[in-house]
Structure 1
Amino acid sequence: MTTQSRIALITGANRGLGKAAALRLAADGTDLIITYRSHAEEAEAVVAEATALGRTAVALRLDAGEVGTFDAFAGEVGRVLKESWDRDTFDHLVNNAGVGIGAPFAEMAVEDFDALMNVHFRGVYFLTQKLLPLIADGGRIINLSTGLTRFVGVGYSAYAAMKGAIEVLTRYQAKELGARGIRVNTVAPGPIATDFAGGVMRDNEQVRAVMADQAALGRVGEPDDISGVISVMLAEQTGWITAQRVEASGGTLL
């Protein structure tokens, strides 16, 4: 009997942490549905890489901050599940899509606050809700948070507050979805060298040096540091873990 491949849906996987997670899971033998808001060519490149690893992969457009589009998106997910896998469900949801907007508390604009809220909390809340009928019993949900919910970086009050809400939401989801065997956990990266927030952690050597000095492991994280954690949290061996916050920050600001 042929073993059914696992399928993971990863939001915002055309670049950065989402891309790294997608390709790590593909290497692990997991098929993919990835989303992108713009830069379709990047998403198709990720699909091509996953396909080269022997996996089935599909890219769908999604604006993670536009709740009004989620019904249609769920319909698209149902369609590609049937067409590409002859299935009605997928196994893992990774809520990764994000936007980087920073400002001191006294200067945060309402429109920027709302943009953060729509993507990082409201969007995660209602997208997961819409996709619940398509998530297989016994599946996994990973919500991405940030080390900034534990330590403070000036200018990130709104962003970190949204992620703090995600960490509380994770525990409630774990409790309410546990009857279906769905495990829900948070992965909280520390400073990671991606293009997030303009790529400052990747490209600014002064910032990198400061953050490396504040980490027990003496460096800034790389996308593969986080993709490995996501892979482990989706593995069968970690099936007894739910409702937990797993920080992957290299020991930043201990």
Structure 2
Amino acid sequence: MSMTANTTTDTPARPRKIALITGGSRGLGRNAALHLARAGIDVVLTYLNNAEDAAGAVAEIRALGGQAVALQLDTGKTAEFDSFVIRLRDALRTGWGRETLDFLVNNAGIGIHKSFAETTEDDFDLLMNIHLKGVFFLTQRLLPVMNDGGRIVNLSSGLARFSMPGFAAYAAMKGGVEVLTRYLAKELGPRGISVNVVAPGAIETDFGGGAVRDIPEMNRAIAAQTAMGRVGMPDDIGGAIATLLGGETQWITGQRIEISGGMLL
């Protein structure tokens, strides 16, 4: 009499995807990180100087069942990028047993509200270093760390489409990011890496001193200019970024996706 034994083979769990979000300790970056954590995607976030906020963001992600680490980085200083990549690889080895990322969100940024006539060369250089030069060269340095088939989301602004006094330099940098996104999509396509740009409208955050959030007259005026009849909330942007990274969107690349509630249509 012969007997055949039933054997079971455990299928190894797929490794969790990992996203790097610059400026992920606050604002839209933090909101996107939390949305990704809820979708089962782990996060490396960068912060400029507020380690306490960064630690709070990491704790929130872990409370959602995700894994996260925060690394300090000034995205306006390209000289720091090589050492950052070394620290990033170390953090990936320590936390995940690997040295590569799946997703990159170039989110870190600042706002300067000045008329064209009042904008100084120092203002211009600061905005360019953070919003355009930093995005260009940080992405370049991270290419060896990116997995084939990965995804990149760059942050622009609705101000690259519609014009409001006081944002000439800021919007010019964001326009540059939108052009750069198309070129990245073209050049990284052979690696299966999709690259898109998200352009938020006016959002209730602390960006620009929190004016949209905290000044009722401004909030109402902007809401009156949107098809949806309200200003944006952080979840409107964070949820969209998470969808672009974690959803079935690999065939979308080289696109500008404005998330403004239909502002100034």
Which of 151, 156, 175 is the equivalent residue of 1:140? Answer: 151
Is 2:208 the counterpart of 1:197? Answer: yes
Give the match for residue 21 of structure 1. 32
| Structure 1 unmatched ranges of 5 or more | none
Q: How many Å separate the matches in 2 of 1:203 and 1:188?
A: 22
Aligned length: 254
Q: How many Å separate the matches in 1 of 2:29 and 2:124?
A: 23
Q: How does 1:84-233 map to 2 (within 5 A)?
A: 84-233=95-244
One-letter amino acid of the counterpart of residue 257, structure 2: V
1:106 CA displacement: 1.1
Alpha-carbon displacement from aligned partner over 1:17-54 (angstroms, at most 9, x marks no partner) = 00000001001100010000011100100100101111
1:176 CA displacement: 0.5
- Identify the range of structure 1 (197-206 vs 241-250) with the bigger mean alpha-carbon deviation: 197-206
Is 2:9 the counterpart of 1:2? Answer: no
3-state SS, counterpart of residue 108 of structure 2: coil
Q: How many Å separate the matches in 2 of 1:90 and 1:235?
A: 13
- Bigger CA radius of gyration: 2
Is 2:48 the counterpart of 1:37? Answer: yes
Q: How many Å separate the matches in 2 of 1:201 and 1:242?
A: 31
Give the match for residue 81 of structure 2. 70
Alpha-carbon displacement from aligned partner over 1:151-204 (angstroms, at most 9, x marks no partner) = 111100100000000000000000001111000000000000111111111111
1:235 CA displacement: 2.4
Q: How many Å separate the matches in 2 of 1:204 and 1:236?
A: 35
Give the match for residue 250 of structure 1. 261
3-state SS, counterpart of residue 43 of structure 2: strand
Cα RMSD, aligned residues only: 0.6
3-state SS, counterpart of residue 152 of structure 1: coil
Which one has the bigger helix percentage?
1
Percentage of matched positions with identical amino acids: 57
Q: How many Å separate the matches in 2 of 1:231 and 1:31?
A: 12
Which of 235, 239, 247 is the equivalent residue of 2:246? Answer: 235
Alpha-carbon displacement from aligned partner over 1:2-23 (angstroms, at most 9, x marks no partner) = 1110000000011100000000
Contact 2:39–2:246 (CA under 8 A) maintained in structure 1: no
One-letter amino acid of the counterpart of residue 132, structure 1: L
One-letter amino acid of the counterpart of residue 47, structure 2: Y
3-state SS, counterpart of residue 197 of structure 2: strand
3-state SS, counterpart of residue 117 of structure 2: helix
1:102 CA displacement: 1.4
TM-score, normalised to structure 2's length?
A: 0.95
3-state SS, counterpart of residue 109 of structure 2: coil
1:236 CA displacement: 3.9
1:211 CA displacement: 0.3
| Structure 2 unmatched ranges of 5 or more | 1-11
3-state SS, counterpart of residue 87 of structure 1: coil
Give the 4+ runs in structure 1 shifted more than 3 A.
none
One-letter amino acid of the counterpart of residue 65, structure 1: G
3-state SS, counterpart of residue 34 of structure 1: strand
Give the match for residue 7 of structure 2. none
Q: How many Å separate the matches in 2 of 1:32 and 1:165?
A: 27
